[in-house]
Structure 1
Amino acid sequence: GDTGHEGHNKAAAMKDSDEVCGCNGVNKGTICKVIKEKGLFTLDEVRKHTKASASCGSCTGLVEQLLMFTAGGDYSATPKTKAMCSCTEHGHQAVRDAIKTSKLLKIADVFTFLEWKTPNGCASCRPAVNYYLISTWPKEARDDPQSRFINERSHANIQKDGSYSVIPRMWGGETTADELRRIADVVDKYKIPTVKVTGGQRIDLLGVKKEDLQAVWKDIGMPSGHAYAKALRTVKTCVGSEWCRMGTQDSTQMGKDLERAMWRMYAPHKVKFAVSGCPRNCAEAGIKDVGIIGVDSGWEMYVAGNGGIKTEVAHFLVKVKTAAEVLEYTGAFCELYRTEGWYLERTVHYVNRVGLDYVKKRIVEDHAGRKALWENLQFALDGEPDPWFEFDKAAVDTRQFEALSV
């Protein structure tokens, strides 16, 4: 990354007008000025005052470098572990370990056991702890909807004008005349202003009023696309051997099978898959969390790609022969990430942290371990509710959708 000797040079060599944080549009000059004027010393303080590195985190190394030579503090004494937030001294790993070894099942138990400074935690640590509980102890720890972000509480993406965006699931990007008719009817009935095809091969209805959400979901009658959640988002496919002259494998069917197997999967961050039917790779499998490419003799699997702020090419993991193996290896990799990744850490950052060799050991070399991971994931997902239809089971608070009476 941008830390260490080279990063220092990079940060020092930047002009004041150079952008540091792309998410929030913060340049070097702004950050340095705030550090000096307010006497800031920690990354958390810089995030509070400037929003730099508070969103995707890919500029964190650079912001830390700016802190070092602007604040002039002595960082040699700084502990290696980064605290989860200001409520605690513990890092993400310590919290995960405590939940597992001491079998903690409730957020309050975690706060008590680890002696949290703020008794009820904050908007930063509560969602993380909630996720660690439900991913470590599926079926035993209860999800706490109040500890999720606004999008995940209302199960739709809030937009900048306060309206919502609804993206139903389209398995592997395939749809039918019946689904398209229902979508068209819903757009007319609820006067939805914008209908857009997303990058993940689905249809997005933008500008839905909050009080219309439940009726829109019901009338569309399609499962939630989880476009608002830290979960499996899309499985992008090409048309594959079913139609394409070049296709060597049926990528659309493989994509649909993968998505149906894993669609209710919550994770530390959003997860995207892609399946291409031949090495021409029309589904762009090289920049997905899991990318599958059909070749003459089977399937190649790539992991930890990312098309985000800094594009990262996925690593080749393994080549397998059968569709069943694709499901098993993909599921095992996802479960490893689900149970070991830190909250808001994308697969690319998880794999960089633990190392590709470690992932290969756990997924490719350890056959019994891989099968166990895949079984654990299926156990966790079995009976997971669709939040658009099973309100009670998904603990959706429907009072939030009532129109405010004037």
Structure 2
Amino acid sequence: MPGTSIRRREFFRHAAMGTAGLAGVFALHKAPAYAQKRRLSMLSWNHFVPASDEKLAEWGREWGKQNNVEVKIDFIAHRDIYVRLAAEAYSRSGHDIVMMAWNNPQLYAESLIDLDEICEEIGEKGGGWYQIARDVNMVEGRWRAMPWFSITMPQTYREDLFQEVGEGPPDTWQDVLRAGKKLRDKGYLIGIAISQTEDANISWYALLWSYGASTVDADQRVIINSSETRQAIEYVKDLYTATMTSEVLSWDDASNNRAYLSGKYAWVHNAVSIYAILPKQAAHLRPLTNHAHSPAGPAGRHATAIPVNYGIWKFSEHQEVAKEFLKVMSEHERLSFLFELTETYNHPLLKSFETHPYWDKDPKIAALRTYQRDAHMIGWPGPPNRKAELVRVQWVVPNMLAKAVTGTPVDEAIKWAEAEIAKIYGAKS
């Protein structure tokens, strides 16, 4: 179809991968009266802290009422959003504003309008953007989507149980393994998904980097077949055998939340969504829970964050009103409100939030204050481009590890991953 940014073959591939996997307190801006009510449609995923979606919907209703705009926000399962994006881009029809997580703005760049003015203004007011905000949302020097927040992925652990086995806050991957073995003897488990799910990508890319391994180098040469990768996989095999059960091989993105809430798990690698929902779902665990930065490895501390971005389709007939609403969503007081409401789950990619007073209210989340400094996007140290995104959505790294922990020889698992990545990047090395 002329003008579309996603080819027929890529549409079906991307859609198939998606189905297989993933305000009253503010002054509202009044616009001049319009003879005919304007319309605005928006697509977003279901938030893991539901109060965030409730507030966004409320802002949409109230802003729409004040500005004579009929605002409709559709919240869908996060695993379904990739299919919907592919379908809308291919058919050139659908919502005006669409949520694009991860590197999705790179995939759909040609179908998105430029948001340079909006994004530069937000960045200037917010103390500047972290680099990953630019890496994900800028294509050839132009902002194709607006960063709204990012999801950090710290360690969430039972402080009481760690103390019970003589362990302090886990700082390294070896700390996690050592403590996990002791905890397993007492009947408690460690949990990281080794499956086709977002949490698996987030956790295992961070581990690979901390061992000095990566899928590609800065020049996009495939380098997964390395001694560093072998060392990392051997660690994962030990961690799996000594501290986990086979259920992690079929986990989805809510499984580690459910596992921790069950009281059977002492440690998971997960966003602060667990901590945010504990008061309502397992209040007795809240005072026993703490957080630590993503663990360090032999090559240092590295982490992955999930940028949550919003773009406007070129085919939208309501581009100007869509821009207006993006500006409203990104006002500092609104970002700050959601940052606190979600207990930092909605962590804006703006440097000014390092000094937000909320960090001082709860020492159990203070470790995340500078998380974004260590965060990379999938594909690092190469660029977070279309190729990196395709490796992510094809679950190459989690599948490599799943093979290794279930009996495939390590070298064979690595060679399989190398071949899969080379299909996308075009060369082995």
Higher helix share: 2
Greater relative contact order structure (CA < 8 Å, 6+ sep):
2
TM-score, L = length of structure 2: 0.24
Bigger Rg, which one = 1
TM-score, L = length of structure 1: 0.25
